[in-house]
Amino acid sequence: MPESAKTLRPPSIVGLTLASHANAKTALAVLNNIVKAEKDHDIEKVVHYITFQAQLQSAASKSVLIPAIKEEEDGESLAKSLVDQWEKVDAQIKALDKTKKHLSNPEFTKVLAAFQEALEAAYSDEHSVLRKLADSQEEDVLEEQAKRAESAKQDVNLDTAAA
């Protein structure tokens, strides 16, 4: 086995969450390109992908990040803020689900903009949580949290995830 393979470790909750954020930001950039190019026929599948990813990250955050940060000194306010941000994201996902996904639909573009804003705010709060956890917890704890987060994502019921 090559020397470098011996040093590979499982992902931590920090790396896992940052990768999830990067994937979502890429998908949002693709969506914005579709909007600019006025490719209305591609909108629905990209919005579905983005909201699906958000539902998975919401589940991970609610099951792992929020409980973990509550245990930290001064973590209660961060936890409450993150809960509030994910509730806003969930509400926007529900609104998107009810909206006809066409660029000519002003309600859709309004809800989509609100969803993007809410998602960015949730990710910003998650970054604050990650910084605090990375500074206070051992790597093996962060790795175990990543495993639990992935498990929570696998257990998401998409019919009720944004409910």
Measured CA to CA, the distance from residue 32 to residue 50 in angstroms comes to 12
List the one residue out of 133, 148, 8 whose CA is nearest residue 74. Answer: 133
Outline where the chain has alpha helix (H). 3-6, 13-37, 40-60, 66-70, 75-97, 106-136, 139-154
pLDDT over 80 at 159, yes or no = no
Chain segment 37-76, per-residue pLDDT in tens: 988 889 999 999 999 999 999 999 999 999 999 999 989 9
Tell me the angle at which helices 106-136 and 75-97 cross, rounded to the nearest 10 degrees. Answer: 150
Chain segment 112-130, per-residue pLDDT in tens: 999 999 999 999 999 999 9
